[in-house]
Amino acid sequence: MTILFISDLHLSPLRPDITDCFIDFMQNEAIHAEKLYVLGDLFEFWIGDDDNSPFNVSIKNEFKALTEKGVECYFIQGNRDFLLNKRFCKETGVELLDDHTVIELDGEKVLIMHGDTLCIDDIKYQEFRAKVHKPWLQWVFNRIPLFIRQRIVKNVQDKIKEKKQTKTLCIMDVTQSEVERVMQEEGVQRLIHGHTHRPDTHTFMSNNKEMTRIVLGDWYSQGSILEYSDKIYSLHKKEFK
Ligand SMILES: [Mn+2]
């Protein structure tokens, strides 16, 4: 049994190298897995399930091909594709999971999430997140014509880019106390997330229990895949061709 986890691909028509690596991964690796979990930020941005650009359709086709072959695919929204929703899932056979989801792997409860909710020191971002996750606001946004949404998103993205450059690195990482709080609340000793682009495995003690936090890597300069097979987790890279 092989289960794969990926996140932070930031797929976009501007990065064919990432897209090629992703397609190769889907057709030659994921196809042999039992399950594939995508923990957010699959896309650089996603402005709504009605955006049927040729690029979006080509990515959807990869998921459809996988689920039709019997590979179960699951998706948790990231901070860049939080508008990816039911229609995408219906078209691809992917199952949308809650922001925080506990799965069971060989009897062990494992918490999976994108990871942005762990960065609570980033107060500005958390305020932004609370705003854009309001259902009524998303309802309104989804009813704005597509070309206007494209303009709004471009505007927001430019602003985020400016801000990122001035933020310190430590504020962009997870807050350890929040990690421990959430893991205790969910009753798990293992957490898998992405978002911070700091691939690593952290072990630490909390309430006299050994905890493990596995962080997935981004796909900016190579692919990054977490594989769970024969009860062993391995984080590996996939070179661009
Ligand atoms: Mn993210």
- Residues 3-13 have pLDDT tens digits of 999 999 999 99
CA of 55 to the centre of ligand 1 (A): 21
Q: Where are the domains of the chain?
A: 2-238
**Ligand 1 center–CA 79 separation, angstroms:** 5
Say if residues 105 and 118 touch (Cβ distance below 8 Å): no
Write down the pLDDT at residue 125.
Answer: 87
CA of 115 to the centre of ligand 1 (A): 7
15-44: average pLDDT: 97
**In angstroms, what is the span from residue 7 Cα to ligand 1's centroid?**
8
- For domain 2-238, give the CATH number: 3.60.21.10
For position 166, what pLDDT does the model report?
54
Segment 146-190, tens digit of pLDDT: 888 888 877 877 776 776 655 555 557 899 999 999 999 999 999
Q: How much distance in Å is there from the Cα of 170 to the middle of ligand 1?
A: 15
How many A from CA of 215 to the centre of ligand 1?
12
Instruction: Please give the pLDDT value at position 128.
Output: 87
How far is Cα 76 from Cα 85, in angstroms, rounded to an integer?
A: 10
Reported as a pLDDT band with limits 50, 70 and 90, residue 48 is: very high
- The rounded Å distance from CA 194 to ligand 1 centre is 7
* C-alpha 116 to ligand 1 mean position (Å): 6
Residue 76 token pair: 């948790």
Q: How far is ligand 1, taken at its centre, from the CA of residue 208, in Å?
A: 31
Mean of the per-residue pLDDT values of the chain: 93
Ligand 1 center to 8 CA (angstroms): 6
For residue 34, is pLDDT > 70? yes
By DSSP bridging, strand 95-96 and strand 72-75 are: parallel
182 Cα–ligand 1 center, Å: 18
In the reported structure, the alpha carbon of residue 168 is separated from the centroid of ligand 1 by a whole-number distance in angstroms of 16
**Mean pLDDT within 91-108:** 97
Dihedral sign for Cα atoms in the order 22, 24, 26, 30 = negative
As residues whose CB is below 5 A from the ion ligand 1, the structure lists: 41, 78-79, 195
Q: What angle do CA 15, 148, 12 make, to 5 degrees?
A: 10
Spatial distance between the Cα atoms of 35 and 228, rounded to a whole number of angstroms? 10
- Mean pLDDT, residues 99-119 taken together: 96
Q: How far apart are CA 136 and CA 32, in angstroms?
A: 40
State the pTM of this model: 0.91
Strand partners, 108: 105
Q: Structure tokens of 129?
A: 């997140």
- CA neighbor of 147 nearest in space, from 53, 73, 214, 213: 53
Question: How many helices, marked H, and strands, marked E, lie in the chain?
Answer: 8, 11
Cβ-in-10-Å burial (0-12, 13-18, 19+) of 187 comes to exposed
Supply the pLDDT for residue 199: 96
d(C-alpha 203, C-alpha 192), whole Å: 12
Sign of CA dihedral 206, 167, 226, 32: positive
Poorest-pLDDT segment among 70-74, 120-124, 165-169, 220-224: 165-169
Cβ proximity of 196 and 119 under 8 Å? yes
Dist CA 141 CA 83 (whole Å): 10
Centroid of ligand 1 to alpha carbon of 43 (angstroms):
10
Output the CA 213–ligand 1 centroid distance in Å. Answer: 17
Inter-helix orientation angle 135-142/123-132, to 10° = 60
